[in-house]
Amino acid sequence: MTLTHRPGPLAGTEDQLTNYRIDGPKHRLLMHPFPRRVRAEFAGETVLDTRDGVLLHETGLLPQLYVPEADLRTDLLKATDHHTHCPFKGDASYRSIVVGDRVAENAVWHYPEPIGSASWLAGYAALYWSRVDRWLDEDDEAVGHLTDPFHRVDIRATSQPVRVLAGDQLLAESTRALLLSETGLPNRYYLPVADIRGDLLTATDTRTVCPYKGWASYWTPTVAGEKLTDAVWGYEHPLPEAARLAGHRSFLHDGITVEVDGKPV
């Protein structure tokens, strides 16, 4: 994600402030080894188990894990008539995963004869993340997608005064917020729950997942009778790497203004 999305060097844009240019097509591919064992499970079977996986970075897309064909349970795969064409990689063929009466349609793809500029894809196959039941990065369950080694999430304590407003209504105010800087995204401020007007918030059923932070829960503020749907979120049980976010919440909505030291951010 970092390399192939702005401001990454392979994002396909030429507006970065640099003293160099990267020659080549606007749509760029980069493949490199993934450093850990990865497994995928479906219907109680391990359908993928690799120590030799690679990440393919492609302009505008999340990195995709490809694995040697030998690391797939080919006895559980059934070829289908589905095919797709990528001008940057070639013609893809697909296989379904079949375990008993469960089928993951067209879950696995590969390029039997990749185009010359991507010839290194020969012998590798990929698997849709959502088509299987569980992924393991070493022995830890992976959520969302594999983490990108070029993507960072930094969490820092800040004593800058942070105020959160919905119109003229103060929703939260703190001098003990956490500042989260994540590659390719604007800074987010997470405030302690005790510094937030909880009486204005209603929990919702919305959940999202971040492979770097974990599963997020959401709340809707109601101000002057107006509901700001899912404007507040937090990680009640964050992943270990983001443990500091426990007990904190952040804010994002067109109807909300976040001020830091008196200035909107």
Does 83 lie in the same domain as 106?
Answer: yes
Domain endpoint, select from 141, 165, 184? 141
- 171-199 pLDDT, tens digit per residue, is 999 999 999 999 989 999 999 999 999 99
24 falls in which pLDDT band (50, 70, 90)?
A: confident
> What does pTM read for this prediction?
0.89
Q: Specify the residue for token string 């105010």.
A: 173
86 falls within a domain: yes
19 falls in which pLDDT band (50, 70, 90)?
A: confident
Question: Is the confidence at residue 15, as pLDDT, over 80?
Answer: no
Q: How many domains does the chain have?
A: 2
pLDDT at residue 171, rounded to an integer: 98
13 falls within a domain: no
CATH assignment at residue 187? 2.170.150.40
Beta bridge partners of residue 83, listed in sequence order: 93
Q: Is 121 helix (H, G, I), strand (E, B) or coil?
A: helix
Domain endpoint, select from 83, 112, 141? 141
- 202-234 pLDDT, tens digit per residue, is 999 999 999 999 999 999 999 999 999 999 999
Does 235 lie in the same domain as 160?
Answer: yes
pLDDT at residue 26, rounded to an integer: 83
109 falls within a domain: yes
- 87-126 pLDDT, tens digit per residue, is 999 999 999 999 999 999 999 999 999 999 999 999 999 9
pLDDT at residue 1, rounded to an integer: 59
243 falls within a domain: yes
Does 66 lie in the same domain as 158?
Answer: no
181 falls within a domain: yes
In this structure, how many other beta carbons lie within 10 angstroms of the beta carbon of residue 73?
Answer: 15
Give me the domain span that covers residue 171.
Answer: 153-264
- 117-176 pLDDT, tens digit per residue, is 999 999 999 999 999 999 999 999 999 999 999 999 999 999 999 999 999 999 999 999
pLDDT at residue 5, rounded to an integer: 77
DSSP per-residue letters across 19-77: S----S-SS-EEEEE--S-EEEEETTEEEEEESS-EEEEETTS--EEEEEGGGB-GGGE
Does 183 lie in the same domain as 121?
Answer: no
219 falls within a domain: yes
125 falls within a domain: yes
